[in-house]
Amino acid sequence: MSYAAAVDHLYALGHELAPATPNTPRRKFDLAHMRVLAGALGNPQISFPSVLIAGTNGKGSTAATLSSILTAAGYRTGLYTSPHLVRVNERIQIDGHDISDEDFARLYFHVDESARFLVDSGDLPYPPSFFEVLTAVGFLYFAGERAAQAEKTPVDIAILEVGLGGRLDATNIVDPILSVLTDIALDHQDYLGNTIAEITREKAGILRPGGTLITLPQHPEANQAIGEAAVTLNLRAINAANYIPRQTPGVPRHDLELHSHETATPLPANHYRVTIDGEPLEVNSPLSGHHQQRNIALAIAAAVELRNQGGYKLFLESNQSSYNISNAHIEAGIRNTQWPGRLELLTFSSGPSLLLDVAHNPAGAWTLRAAIAQLPEAQPRTLLFSCLRDKDLNEMAQILFPLFDPSSGDPERRKDHIVFAPIDNPRAARIEDLLAAAHTLDIPAHAAPHLAAALAQARAVTPANGLIIATGSVYLVGEIRRLAGEL
């Protein structure tokens, strides 16, 4: 079967978080079902060591950075993330390379055939979900089921980003050698709980008795819930705060040796020094934004722990004692991290630049707002925005829309605009709701029938020296990034 057929078949499964209808009730998550599927596939998830990363925001950036560090150290490293920006292959990578179309199609139909047999035999009550199928494909790929290799060889380690929550997430059938918790905030309350404490307890479901946790101090409710879990499970908790610079780097950009990725961003670079085991380590990350310092710190702490494992039981003889990760490997891995759509600047031969950021919830919107505060005040800006209707649209509007208000009386904002467009997703917010959110704040806004028209409109109203900021959803950023490639 072809790759196109595999992708079409996958999307026909529908999205786990799609709104319930009378004919399709909301899906219930159950790890027992994922274990049945994995068992029928030979339990590929036990073939390789893994690190499991959960949180509300920053888990993808942390996973990408840690994966890049391990690759720089010479280990074949699997990376499983979600969602994707443009192609589903992006979710499953080894050493920074997406799974091939051939391998994806072959493994997808292998999982699908096994799932259909399990449903027919009564071992599964219904077919696996979109995310469960992709997780199974990723596990098989990391276990060595690759067409290009005659001999089955697992990856040296896999970095796995949790999809939703943690306790009941399909990735949580692994036995991780490290668990990482990134920043936790309110999101997906329908599934995870209505308070930060409730959500944290769900995400802490990735922790293991006697295991190792890497995290950072954060919201007091989250800290308390994490602390309670740590005591109950008798695990070892590592605070990554030592790898955050003591103060925001104040070195002007022109005083630093610029690397190629730094010349393309209007935001201050994350270029600073930290200390590891008494030795200086230079952090020079292509991921912009002050918030990335926390994600980088978590990745550094995980790398340091992996190289000092001692008692961990690893499956591969070459890694029985520890991973050989030097400070130079950490520096190179951070420097070479690729994680598009996160304060990513695209420039063109003519017309305004485009800044992409997947701020998809209020916490992400606050992070983006902090980044916007670092931009030149006099630069004209256009906000290209849409979001999913299960997000807090009104709060995101209050955070972001006033920064683009041409009627505010601020002379620097007179040339600003806001453009809305619908997202091709069953959970998308309606244009009427987006316009209503702006109207409630008395901020002018315009609507376009689709994202291609919205991008064209934004480019038409934004001066050549201006900046279009596209944000509000991963789905919006992915499509805009694809469309920008055609400009």
Interatomic CA distance for residues 184 and 206, integer angstroms = 14
Total structural domains within the chain? 2
Start-end of H helices in 121-258: 130-142, 189-192, 196-203, 220-233
The CATH number of residue 161's host domain is 3.40.1190.10
Residues 253 and 388 in one domain: no
- pLDDT, average across residues 384-392: 92
pLDDT digits (tens, 9 = 90+) for 439-482: 999 999 999 999 999 999 999 999 999 999 999 999 999 999 99
Who's near 226: CB < 8 A, 6+ residues apart? 181, 200, 204, 213, 215, 237
Who's near 93: CB < 8 A, 6+ residues apart? 67, 78, 79, 80, 81, 99
Residues 20 and 56 in one domain: yes
Residues 358 and 252 in one domain: no
pLDDT digits (tens, 9 = 90+) for 418-447: 999 999 888 899 999 999 999 999 999 999
- pLDDT, average across residues 323-328: 93
Asked if 54 and 182 count as a contact pair (C-beta separation under 8 A), the reply is: yes
The predicted structure's pLDDT at residue 360: 87
Which of 202-206, 319-323, 431-435 is predicted with the least confidence, judged by mean pLDDT?
A: 319-323
Who's near 134: CB < 8 A, 6+ residues apart? 10, 82, 88, 91, 92
pLDDT digits (tens, 9 = 90+) for 237-286: 999 999 999 864 443 333 333 333 333 446 778 999 999 988 999 999 99
Interatomic CA distance for residues 105 and 82, integer angstroms = 18
- pLDDT, average across residues 55-62: 93
- pLDDT, average across residues 374-381: 92
Q: How would residue 164 be classed by pLDDT, with cut points 50, 70 and 90?
A: confident
Interatomic CA distance for residues 464 and 479, integer angstroms = 22
The predicted structure's pLDDT at residue 487: 72
Residues 158 and 38 in one domain: yes
Domain boundary among 301, 335, 369: 335
Residues 365 and 451 in one domain: yes
Residues 285 and 364 in one domain: no
The predicted structure's pLDDT at residue 315: 47
- pLDDT, average across residues 131-147: 92
Residues 362 and 436 in one domain: yes
Q: How would residue 16 be classed by pLDDT, with cut points 50, 70 and 90?
A: low
Helix, strand, or coil (residue 151): coil
The predicted structure's pLDDT at residue 265: 46
What does the longest C-alpha to C-alpha distance in the chain come to? 69
Domain boundary among 300, 335, 370: 335
Residue 102 has a CB neighbour count (10 Å cut-off) of: 13
Residues 360 and 315 in one domain: no
Residue 376 token pair: 């030149």
The predicted structure's pLDDT at residue 408: 92
In percent, the amount of the chain with pLDDT more than 70 equals 88
Residues 405 and 443 in one domain: yes
Asked if 384 and 428 count as a contact pair (C-beta separation under 8 A), the reply is: no
Domain housing 182 = 3-335
Interatomic CA distance for residues 39 and 180, integer angstroms = 26
Who's near 40: CB < 8 A, 6+ residues apart? 114, 115, 117, 118, 123
Average pLDDT, the chain: 89
pLDDT digits (tens, 9 = 90+) for 360-377: 899 899 999 999 998 999
The predicted structure's pLDDT at residue 158: 97
- pLDDT, average across residues 326-336: 97
Please check the confidence at residue 28 and state whether its pLDDT lies above 70.
no
Residue 38 class from Cβ within 10 Å (0-12 exposed, 13-18 middle, 19+ buried)?
buried
- pLDDT, average across residues 144-150: 69
Residues 331 and 355 in one domain: no
Distance, C-alpha 271 to centroid of its chain: 22
Distance, C-alpha 15 to centroid of its chain: 17
DSSP 428: B
The predicted structure's pLDDT at residue 166: 86
pLDDT digits (tens, 9 = 90+) for 75-98: 999 999 999 999 999 999 999 999
Please check the confidence at residue 393 and state whether its pLDDT lies above 90.
yes
Domain boundary among 335, 363, 385: 335
Residues 303 and 386 in one domain: no
Q: How would residue 23 be classed by pLDDT, with cut points 50, 70 and 90?
A: low
- pLDDT, average across residues 116-135: 95
Q: How would residue 316 be classed by pLDDT, with cut points 50, 70 and 90?
A: very low
The predicted structure's pLDDT at residue 390: 85
Asked if 463 and 415 count as a contact pair (C-beta separation under 8 A), the reply is: yes
Residues 160 and 29 in one domain: yes
Is the pTM higher than 0.85? The answer reads yes
The CATH number of residue 408's host domain is 3.90.190.20
